[in-house]
Amino acid sequence: MKSNIHPRLKSIYKLQGILVQLGWLCLVASLFFYSPIVLANAIILILCCLYTYLVLFGRRFDLQKEPFSVKSFFTLDGVLKMLKSTRMAFTAWTHILVFDLFAAWVIVVDLHSRDLHGLIGLPFLLLTMMFGPMGLLAYVVVRMIMTGNFVDIGFW
């Protein structure tokens, strides 16, 4: 059975997985030692570059040559059709991973800026890793309750 995934895309996916795992490890370590945040920053930026590359130049990895248009983003049917493309699904997955890492990064930096203990952040990083925005929302709500400050919902 012939795969409908470009071989180079498979390699990029493996590299992406390693980078994402390393990024999460750095963010968890950053809860207790601030220096790993530097590596997490670099990993997030590398993944942003990967995403940009896939958006701008990824068409070469398309084995199914279905045309996409910007109009596809404005209807659910269009989005679902777009996600049938392996490359577009991979690009969307990269988008999700980068934003989840960034949301976790925001939590870590905010904890440090408020001198809150890293253990407080651990469940929120886990929640963010699994459910993205829900973890960030939970962190903000708990932080507001802990600090009694319901006005300052921003970061740093």
List the domain range (segments joined by +) for residue 85: 7-147
**Cα dihedral across residues 120, 125, 128, 130: positive or negative:** negative
| Residue 153, domain member (yes or no) | no
Residue 13 lies in a domain: yes
If one counts the domains in the chain, the total is: 1
In a domain, 19, yes or no: yes
Q: Is residue 109 part of a domain?
A: yes
Q: What pTM, to 2 d.p., does this model score?
A: 0.87
Give the model confidence (pLDDT) of 22-77 as tens digits: 999 999 999 998 889 999 999 999 999 999 999 898 888 877 666 667 777 788 98
pLDDT band at 156 (very low <50, low <70, confident <90, very high): low
* Residue 135 falls inside a structural domain: yes
Residue 71's identity, in one-letter code, is: K
Residue 154 lies in a domain: no
For residue 99, being part of any structural domain is answered with: yes
Nearest-5° Cα angle at 82, 79 to 87: 135
